[in-house]
Amino acid sequence: MSPERITYHPGDSFLHRLHPLTKGAWLIFGTVAVFVVRNPWAVLAVVALLLAGFPLAGVRLGRVRGTRLFASTALLLGLLQVLFIREGAVLVEIGPLVITAGGVEAAFYVAGRFLSVVLLSYLFVLTTEPNDLAYGLMRAGLPYRYGFALITALRLVPIFEQEGQIVYNAQLARGVRYDVRSPRRFLTLARQFVLPLLVSALGKVDALAVSMEGRCFGKYPARTFLRQTQATWLDGVAMGLLVLGVVAVGYWSLEIGGS
Amino acid sequence: MIQIEGLSFCFRGSPQYALYDLNLRVEAGAFVVITGPSGCGKSTLALAIGGYLFRQFDGEATGNVSVAGMDVRNSPIYDVAEVVGLVQQNPEAQFCTLTVRDEVAFGLENRCLPRAEIRERMAWALSIAGAEHLSSRSLASLSGGEKQKVAIAAMMAAKPQVLIFDEPTSNLDPTATAEIFEVIEHIQAKAGITVLVIEHKVDYLRRFQPRLVEMEEGRIVRDGPMPPPGNKEEAPRSPQAVTSSPPLVRVENLHAGYNGHPVLSDLSLEIQPGEFVSVMGDNGSGKTTLLHCLLGLRPPEKGRVEMLGHDTRQTPVSELARQVGFVFQNPDHQIFADSVWAEATFAARNLGTLDKTTEGRVTDLLIRCGLGDRLDDHPYRLSYGQKRRLNLVSVLSYRPRLILLDELLIGQDSAHATFLLDLLWEHVLEGGTVLMVNHAPRITRRYASRLVFFNSGQIVVDAPTGSAIAQLRALGKDAYVA
């Protein structure tokens, strides 16, 4: 079975039900926190917590595209720290191979932080309807022109992906071979691939401009919204925990920094 | 309601006028069908009535356009948009949001209407477009016909006095086409607004007794009531398949789909050399997927596809392409070269078959297609119809044994469609084979020796055209036998 795309997975878990902006706030906090916290066990605890989030969200991480890539990247990053950092007590020494406590600690930090950021982003993307996010941002004050630029991008990306596949198929059907390796040939193939997509995109822009202007987009500096993306008690709890987290991480970093 | 006097428009860089000295008067509440050959200026006229032509497109304009007493050329586009709604050809290209509710509410939200009024108007618009049941859906999950209904509802929500439909059914199958025309007629009758429909398939609209405006080269050449149907049906041609030869194509128990969604299930089919096969069926029934499987662009999930004796799983597409040509739906997706000549010979060059004989054949084909004096022009400077002809020439150039065609006739008027089919017919007479996905029953009756009809990923009718049509009638597929 082909891997699942890194895109919104519909569901009804508590992560799905959180307001997109609450999840956005946690994404930012989590990303900052793993870099501020100076304890490898805390970083590992964050990774474990995030891994537990996937079954709770009803998503099988192993089946999502890119999982193997980021797991092996984390492993490689960790391995490089272990092999090349020589600080602190020597744990193992076999010929030229020297593993130190500092190297192991650095491996936990680097791999853990990398994994934390990737897993946080995955959880956010897999449980957040992009449309809800865009409308949430607009309701929170983002100028609606920018919000709809985001929505248009969300709408057009899969269309262009599909069209890219059609153009590629059409090239194969006309006898184009993609197995010729030379810079000149590469440039020719790239031009022949991009040009049809560009022409198609320009046509879509024209149609979209007619459609948007024909429905008074941009007539007024502000607009109304039918959608009501309401925060719930769950968001209250999540934001409360976030505040506690900010205080704890702030205190911890100051304490460590001061001591 | 609409008054156009002496309107001319020439796009910048174009050698000829898109509209020339055009005059038109449409009364309030009228139902007008505008037709004419591809590239005659129908869509440009729609853009002019909506005011877009004078603001979003670069060119030289003269004459007057007035709608509901408003001078369209000199009024802000937002003011014109309060009166005129335009439903474009491709609903996908005009959507601004991701869900049905957001899409229908979009124009109302931009007008800063209060939430209660948006809800009320949205319910009305979805109801009049026959799309209430779609209100909770995402746009990506809708079929072509459903998308067009939502596009209509999105325009109707603004309660325009004039609604223009620019070839609203060009991408739809006959079933969805009939449904959309029902919706348009319903809107005109219930809302009492002025409706202009730009359309090639005027026969579908005959029973609504509209006024028919015919255009040619930017001018109106006929304006009056819809004439009675003529008996234009021409005698069917009957290509003879070479049944003694081994089949060109052998499909056995084929299962195929996309991203885990099954499209074709347990499909078996054989095609003999010399056949002209018409493949029909509703949008999404698996016709295009079959074509992709035949050329090896999509591997079977189960079953086997044998093309000219080669298993498509084990033969590179570039190898199969030597004997199998493929014309895709959208002309712009299959133009890769910088000049008409280079494009026409592109495949032959890639396949290493370009020689003096091929060059002579291509030259002859281009002259017949009216492109003989455009050899050095960039293909993207050609009109839609010319690009379509060039697509076909670039495949006919190297004389593949089998030609697969995916909706070649979209957006083609009757004369252009006949021209393209005559080229294919010659290919069959020279020993070639044609498999054509299409939505045109009349064309199928005239050219195809065999009709294969798809329903939900399976072949439900596969017979010589005459008896296949009788079977379709018995199955209640009247839209396909009209």
- Rounded to the nearest integer, the mean pLDDT of chain A is 88
Inter-chain CB proximity A170 and B86 less than 8 Å: no
Chain A residues in contact with B350 (beta carbon < 8 A): 174-177
Question: Which residues in B lie closer than 8 A to residue A203 (C-beta atoms)?
Answer: 93, 332
With respect to residue A5, please indicate whether it lies within any of the assigned structural domains: no
Q: Can you tell me the distance from the alpha carbon of A142 to that of A225, in angstroms, rounded to the nearest whole number?
A: 13
Is residue A171 located within the same domain as residue A115?
no
- Mapped onto helix, strand or coil, the DSSP state of residue A90 is strand
Residues A248 and A120 in one domain: yes
Alpha-carbon distances, residue B274 vs B50, B202, B246, B253 (angstroms)? 49, 33, 12, 24
Using the beta-carbon criterion (under 8 Å), do A226 and B118 form an inter-chain contact?
yes
What's the CA angle centered on A51, arms A49 and A54, to 5 degrees? 115
Place of tokens 């799309």: B131
Measure CB to CB from residue A148 to each of B90, B96, B140 and give the nearest one.
B96
In this structure, the answer to whether residues A101 and A149 fall within a common structural domain is no
Model confidence at A258: pLDDT above 60: no
Check: CB of residue B438 under 8 Å from CB of residue B264: no
Between the CA of residue A24 and those of A15, A31, A106, A141, A251, what are the distances in Å? 12, 11, 28, 15, 23
User: Which of A136-145, B86-95, B410-419 comes out lowest in average pLDDT?
Assistant: B410-419
CA A144 to chain B, closest CA, distance in angstroms equals: 10
Share of chain B above pLDDT 90, in %: 64
The pair of structure tokens assigned to B88 is 């474009």
Confidence of residue A225 (pLDDT cuts 50, 70, 90): very high
In a domain, A138, yes or no: no
- State pLDDT tens for residues A108-122: 999 999 999 999 999
In a domain? residue A38: yes
Taking contacts as CB-CB distances below 8 angstroms, the residues of chain A near B354 are: none
Give B249-306 pLDDT, tens digit per residue.
Answer: 999 999 998 877 889 999 999 999 999 999 999 888 899 999 999 999 999 999 999 9
Residue B385 CA to residue B412 CA, distance in Å, equals: 7
The CA distance from B21 to B273, in Å, is 52
Alpha carbon of A114: minimum distance to chain B alpha carbons (Å): 30
Nearest by CB to residue A192, choosing from B82, B111, B336, is: B336
pLDDT at residue B328 greater than cutoff 90:
yes
> Does A226 sit within 8 Å of B109, measured CB to CB?
yes
CA distance A121 to chain B (A): 22
- Cβ B155–A214 below 8 Å, yes or no? yes
Asked whether the beta carbons of residue B78 and residue A175 sit closer than 8 angstroms, the reply is no
Asked if B155's CB is within 8 angstroms of A219's CB, the reply is no
The alpha carbon of residue A129 is apart from the nearest alpha carbon of chain B, in Å, by: 10
Residues of chain B with Cβ-Cβ distance to A206 below 8 Å are 56
Cα dihedral B301, B306, B307, B311 sign:
positive
Name the band, by pLDDT with cuts 50, 70 and 90, for residue A39: confident
In this structure, the answer to whether residues A80 and A52 fall within a common structural domain is: yes
Q: In what order do the strands lie in the sheet with B211-216?
A: B84-87, B162-166, B194-198, B31-35, B211-216, B219-225
Q: Greatest CA separation found in chain A?
A: 75
Q: How far apart are CA A195 and CA A173, in angstroms?
A: 17
Contacts of A208 in chain B (CB under 8 A): 93-94, 96
Percentage, residues of chain A above pLDDT 70 = 97
Residue the block writes with tokens 């920018």: A146
Q: How many beta-carbon pairs under 8 angstroms link A with B?
A: 175
> What's A115-141 look like in SS3?
HHHHHHHHHHHHHCCHHHHHHHHHHCC
**What are the CA-CA distances from residue B201 to residues A13, B36, B330, B416 (Å)?**
49, 10, 19, 14
pLDDT at B159: 92
Residues 6+ apart with CB under 8 A from A241: none
B298 phi, psi to nearest 5 deg: -135, 120
Q: CA of B369, closest CA in chain A: separation in Å? A: 20
Claim to verify: residue A116 and residue A240 sit in the same structural domain: yes
Burial group, residue B361, by CB count within 10 angstroms (0-12, 13-18, 19+): middle
Q: In the CATH hierarchy, which top-level class contains the domain B249-480?
A: alpha beta
Q: Would the pLDDT of B356 be above 70?
A: yes
Q: What is the pLDDT of residue A180?
A: 65
pLDDT number for residue A115: 93
CB within 8 Å: B259 and A2:
yes
The DSSP H or E segment spanning B138 is: none
Q: Model pTM greater than 0.90?
A: no
CA angle B365, B367, B368 (to 5 degrees): 65
Closest CA to B340 of B393, B270, B299: B393
A204 interaction partners in chain B (CB closer than 8 Å): 93
The tokens for B56 are: 């979003």
Answer yes or no: are the C-beta atoms of B145 and B172 closer than 8 Å. yes
Min Cα separation A30/chain B (Å)? 29
CB contact (8 A) between residue A196 and residue B335 = yes
Same domain, A18 and A108: yes
Q: Is B113 close to A224, i.e. CB distance below 8 A?
A: yes
Average pLDDT over residues B127-144: 88
Mean pLDDT of B20-36: 93
pLDDT digits (tens, 9 = 90+) for A43-58: 889 999 999 999 999 9
Domain B2-225 and domain B249-480 have a common topology = yes
Shared domain for A55 and A179, answered yes or no, is no
Enter the ipTM: 0.85
CB contact (8 A) between residue B350 and residue A215: no
Whether residues A68 and A120 fall in one domain: yes
Q: Is residue B233 pLDDT above 70, yes or no?
A: no
Residue A46 identity = V
Partner residue opposite B333 with nearest CB, options A163, A215, A224: A163
Cα separation, B475 vs B480, in Å, equals 11
In B87-143, alpha helices (H): 91-94, 100-110, 115-128
pLDDT average, residue stretch B123-136: 92
Q: Shortest CA distance to A136 belongs to which of A41, A21, A55? A: A21
H-state helical runs in chain A: 14-17, 20-36, 40-56, 67-84, 101-127, 130-139, 144-173, 183-213, 233-258
Instruction: Tell me: pLDDT of B154 over 90.
Output: yes
Angle, helices A101-127/A67-84, rounded to nearest 10 degrees: 160
CB-nearest to A223 from B109, B326, B351 is B109
Give pLDDT, residue A256: 63
More confident residue, A147 or A64: A147
Q: Please state the rounded mean pLDDT for residues B382-395.
A: 90
C-alpha distance from B290 to closest chain A C-alpha (Å)? 14
Nearest-by-CA chain B residue for A145: B110
- Nearest-by-CA chain B residue for A1: B260
Per-domain residue ranges for chain B?
Answer: 2-225, 249-480
Say if A137 falls within a structural domain.
no
pLDDT for A79-92, tens place per residue?
999 998 888 888 88
- Out of A2, A192, A215, the one facing B81 most closely (by C-beta) is A215
A71 and A166 share a domain?
A: no
Tokens 């089946």: give the residue: A63
The set of residues, in sequence order, having a beta carbon less than 8 Å from that of A252 and lying 6+ positions away, is A36, A37
Total number of domains constituting chain A? 2
Least CA distance to B295: which residue of chain A?
A173
Tell me if B259 and A130 make a contact (CB, 8 A cut-off).
no
Query: Searching chain A, which residue's CA lies closest to the CA of residue B85?
Result: A214
The whole-angstrom separation of Cα B144 and Cα A226 is: 26
Query: Which of chain B's residues have a Cβ under 8 Å away from the Cβ of A209?
Result: 56
What is the per-residue pLDDT for B106?
95
Alpha carbon of B28 to those of A11, B32, B50, B163, B193: distances in Å? 50, 11, 16, 11, 7
Q: Would A133 be classed as within a structural domain? A: no
Which one of A198, A224, A228, A230 makes the best mutation probe of the B interface by having the most chain B beta carbons within 10 Å?
A: A224
B2-225, what's its fold? Rossmann fold (3.40.50)
Nearest to A214 among B50, B326, B336 (CB): B50
Of A8-22, B172-186, B229-243, B455-469, give the lowest mean pLDDT range. B229-243
Chain A closest-CA separation from residue B34 CA (Å): 20
| Secondary structure (3-state) at B2 | strand
Average pLDDT value over all residues in chain B:
90
A26 and A70 together in one domain: yes
What tokens does B359 get?
């060059």
* pLDDT category of residue B243 using cuts at 50, 70 and 90: low
Q: Min CA distance, A207 vs chain B (Å)?
A: 6
Interchain contact, B102 vs A131, CB within 8 Å: yes
Contacts of B78 in chain A (CB under 8 A): 213, 216, 219
Q: What angle do CA B317, B322, B323 make, to 5 degrees?
A: 105
Q: How many Å apart are CA B217 and CA B215, to the nearest integer?
A: 7
Task: Examine residue A82 and state whether it is found in any structural domain, yes or no.
Answer: yes
Report, as an integer, the average pLDDT of A197-201: 90
Contact between A210 and B94 using a beta-carbon 8 Å cutoff:
yes
Cβ distance B118 to A224 less than 8 Å, yes or no, reads yes
Q: Please list every residue in chain B whose beta carbon sits closer than 8 Å to the beta carbon of residue A171.
A: 336
Q: What is the pLDDT of residue B37?
A: 85
Q: Is there a single domain that holds both residue A109 and residue A201?
A: no
Question: What pLDDT score does A2 carry?
Answer: 62
Query: Would the pLDDT of A257 be above 60?
Result: no
Instruction: Supply the range of the domain harboring residue A86.
Output: 14-128+231-258
Same domain, A235 and A113: yes
Q: Which residues of A touch B95 (CB under 8 A)?
A: 155, 211
Q: Please, which pLDDT band fits residue B239 given cuts at 50, 70 and 90?
A: low
Query: Which amino acid belongs to residue B406?
Result: D
